[in-house]
Amino acid sequence: MLEFSHKPVMLEECLDGLKVKDGGVYFDGTVGGAGHSYEILKRSAPTGRLIATDLDDEAIAAASTRLGEFVGRFTIYKSNYKNFERVFADAGIDEIDGALLDFGISSHQIDDTDRGFSYKDGAAPLDMRMDRTSPLTAETIVNTYEEEKLVRILKTYGEETFAKQIARNIVLARAQKPLKTSGELSEIIRKSIPVKFRYGAPCERKTFQALRIEVNEELDGLYELVLSLTRRLKKGGRIVILTFQSLEDRIVKEAFKYMQSPCSCPPNFPVCVCGKKAEIKIITRKPITASAEEVEDNSRSKCAKLRIAEKI
């Protein structure tokens, strides 16, 4: 088993965005290797409190060790961040001073070939579960989902142009024998994409992204999560969200836009009748991206986008 390690993306930008202070109560939705969480506790000393969640047992164990010096000031729950209401109730928390949501997968999860997140190791199993106790795996999806459903997943979650060809070839291949490894799936994907489109980004990237999102239900309820979690902020509290693909970023952008708008009436209404009020101020008119230096040091930060909003 690999030692759990992960470089937090845009660490300073995230902490600056949160405006961490002594005595504040903060929520880290994906504790991972505790890179962000460690700095939140350090900068909110001596009395700041952290509530964190994660689905990965290895991440929770590693984070608990990393945060050991702050014992008594943090609690980590094995839970999806979408269940924060239940977590807050258990922790006796009503409002928070800041929330951090990092939707990326950790370097450890990618590098651990047993997890099956990467297409670079052909012998890796088709797993892709954040929570390894969950019954649904990528292997189950590619071997049991109907062709039309596979097409829909690849188009919706992977924005894959050649979704129909890939799905058709998956179905044909699994009729001969079940697909078990990343290498077997990668071979099908490459054969499904015309040669002239195989250059640039790896052919497998979109399909593997789509399967990972389906396995972990990453986009389900995401819009509602952003709304409800932001409403738990104290006045002046900040929510900081890191996304790593366009689908997530679009959802966060639209949720922030809705919450900042003082009116939800149709544009052709002569006067406002909805009674809606602005709930936040968007701090980042455009998303913050990683510096050239960070991208060179950590290539996985290249796709990251950071959006920040403040409760009013």
Q: Residue 48 sits in a domain of what CATH number? A: 3.40.50.150
Q: What is the pLDDT of residue 162?
A: 97
Q: 127 and 188 in one domain?
A: yes
Q: 179 and 122 in one domain?
A: yes
How many domains, the chain? 2
Among 199, 216, 233, identify where a domain stops: 216
- Rounded to two decimals, the pTM is 0.90
More confident residue, 20 or 263: 20
Mean pLDDT of 159-166: 97
Range of the domain at 298: 11-103+219-311
pLDDT digits (tens, 9 = 90+) for 271-296: 888 888 999 999 999 999 999 999 99
Strands (DSSP E) found in the chain: 25-28, 49-54, 74-78, 96-102, 233-243, 280-282, 305-311
pLDDT digits (tens, 9 = 90+) for 45-83: 999 999 999 999 999 999 999 999 999 999 999 999 999
Q: 287 and 163 in one domain?
A: no
Mean pLDDT of 245-272: 91
Mean pLDDT of 27-44: 96
Are the CB atoms for 238 and 229 separated by under 8 Å? no
Q: What is the 3-state secondary structure (H, E, C) of 238-273?
A: EEEEEECCHHHHHHHHHHHHHHHCCCCCCCCCCCCC
Q: Residue 194 sits in a domain of what CATH number? A: 1.10.150.170
Q: 35 and 95 in one domain?
A: yes
